[in-house]
Amino acid sequence: MDWSEQRYWEDVEEGAEVPAVAFPLSVYRLVVEAGANRDFNSIHHQSEYARASGAPEMYANTGFLLGMWERTVREFIGLHGSIRHIDGFRMRRFNTVGTTVVVRGRVKSKRRDDGDALVDLEVWSELEDDITVGPGVVTVELPVRS
Amino acid sequence: MSEDWRAAWRPVVDAVGGDFGDGEAIEGADAVDASALRRFLEPLEFDCPLHQEGGLAPLSSYFTFVAPPIWQPGGAAVFTSDERDAQPDGVGQRRFLTGLEPPYTGYFAADFELQPLLPVLVGDRLTRTGRKLVGCELKETSVGRGAFMTWEWEARNQRDEVVARFRNTMYVYNGPED
C-alpha cells in the first residue's frame, strides 16, 4: 500500500469500486486475533466449542471483521480521509476458519454537507460470493482539492 | 407448546427502553499504548501510518480498549477448573444482558453501528458507560430460538469525554435439544 497517494472528494465517482482486500482465515490467524483484540470467546478459536454452539466451525469475531472493513476503507480514503459513521454492519453468516473473507465496496453517493465533503461507501464482506457481513454504509469525509 | 419459548422472553421484551448499566463505568483492561496498537494491527496486516506510527487507535479497536480484565490483582481466582473447555469464572458477567433472559446456550454479535466523535490516541484509557436496551426481536434461526437484543452504549476517555457511540445487536439463543 502506497500511503503517499491521497484520494480527493473530487476524484470520487458514484458507482466506483472500492478495491477489494482478501483476508485468508487460518487457525493461527484467529488465535493471533483473539490475543490482539481480547475477544477470547472460545467460539472464535476452538472448533468443538464453536460447533457445540451451532456454528459449523470456529469463526472470525466482530472486532476482526470490523477491522477488515476499516482497513479496506482506510486504504481507499488515505491518510487525510476520516471515517464519520459505520452502519449496517450486519453479520449474516459465520466467517469460518479455512475460508477467505473478501471485503468489497462501492461508492454509493457523495455530497457536501455544511462544508464537509462526504462520501457514502457501500461495504460488504464475502465468502465464496455470498455476502456474510453487510452490506453496510460507511460514511467518510475526504479532503477537497481547493 | 411451540410458542412457550416466546412467552419466556416476554419480560425482556417488556424491558425495552431500560438502562441496565446501573451507572457503572467499566474500565478497559489496558490503556491505549503503542504495543497494544501494534498487536491489534498485526493480524489485520494493517500498515496505515496513522495507527502504526501516529498513535491513532483504529475505530475497530475501541471494543478492545473497553474490554474489562479477565482477572485483576486483589480479585478472586478465575481460572479455577482444569476441565478442557472450562471458561474463566465471571466471564459472562458484563455481557449485554438484562438478567431477565430465559436459560440460553449461545450468544453472539449480529449487528453493529458506530459513530466516532473524538479521536482515541496513545495514552488514552477508555471506559464503557450505559447499557440501554432499545430492541428485542424474537426469532428462530438455524442455531436455535432466542432474541436479537439491541443495545446502545458509549465509550468515554479518561477526561470523561464521549469518544464514540455504539449500537449493537446480540443474538441470545437456546440451541436445539439433542
Query: Is A146 a residue whose pLDDT tops 90?
Result: no
Q: Residue B110: its chain A contacts at CB < 8 A?
A: 90-91
pLDDT for the residue numbered B177: 65
Residues 74-133 of B with CB under 8 A from A: 85, 87, 105-106, 108-116
% of chain B with per-residue pLDDT over 90? 76
Amino acid identity at A10: E
Query: Is B178 a residue whose pLDDT tops 70?
Result: no
Set out the domains of chain B in order of their start, with CATH numbers: 4-174 (3.10.129.10)
Rounded average pLDDT over A100-115: 96
pLDDT for the residue numbered B1: 46
Q: Do B108 and A53 touch (CB under 8 A)?
A: yes
User: Min CA distance, A3 vs chain B (Å)?
Assistant: 7
Judge whether B43 is closer than 8 Å to chain A, CB to CB. yes
Which cell numbers in the block locate residue A143?
A: 479532503
Set out the domains of chain A in order of their start, with CATH numbers: 9-141 (3.10.129.10)
Q: Does the N-terminal peptide bond of residue A135 adopt cis geometry, omega within 30 degrees of 0?
A: yes
> Quick one: closest CA in A to B50, which residue?
A79
Judge whether A55 is closer than 8 Å to chain B, CB to CB. yes
Handedness of CA A22, A24, A25, A30 (dihedral sign): negative
% of chain A with per-residue pLDDT over 70? 100
Mean pLDDT for all residues in chain B:
92
> Quick one: closest CA in A to B106, which residue?
A53
For the beta carbon of residue B64, count every other beta carbon within 10 angstroms: 24
Closest CA to B31 of B121, B111, B108, B124: B124
CA pair distance B121, B111, nearest whole angstrom: 26
> Quick one: closest CA in B to A33, which residue?
B43
Say if CB A25 and CB A60 are below 8 A apart.
yes
User: Which residue, among A66, A80, A103, would best test binding to B if mutated, counting the most B CBs under 10 Å from its CB?
Assistant: A66
Write out pLDDT tens, residues A11-50.
999 999 999 999 999 999 999 999 999 999 999 999 999 9
Q: Do A86 and B112 touch (CB under 8 A)?
A: yes
- Neighbour-count burial for A35-74, b at 16+ CB within 10 Å, e otherwise: ebbbbebbbbbbbebbeebbbebbbbbbbbbbbbbbbbbb
Write out pLDDT tens, residues A67-103.
999 999 999 999 999 999 999 999 999 999 999 999 9
CA pair distance A104, A90, nearest whole angstrom: 15
What does pTM read for this prediction? 0.92
Write out pLDDT tens, residues B69-121.
999 999 999 999 999 989 899 876 667 889 999 999 888 889 989 999 999 99
Q: Name the least confident of A105-109, B25-29, B36-40.
A: B25-29
Say if CB B172 and CB B154 are below 8 A apart.
no
User: Which residue in the set A62, A86, A88 is minimally distant from B109, CB to CB?
Assistant: A62
Q: Who's near A32: CB < 8 A, 6+ residues apart? A: B42, B43
Rounded average pLDDT over B160-168: 96
Where do we find the cell 480479585?
B75
CA pair distance A35, B171, nearest whole angstrom: 24
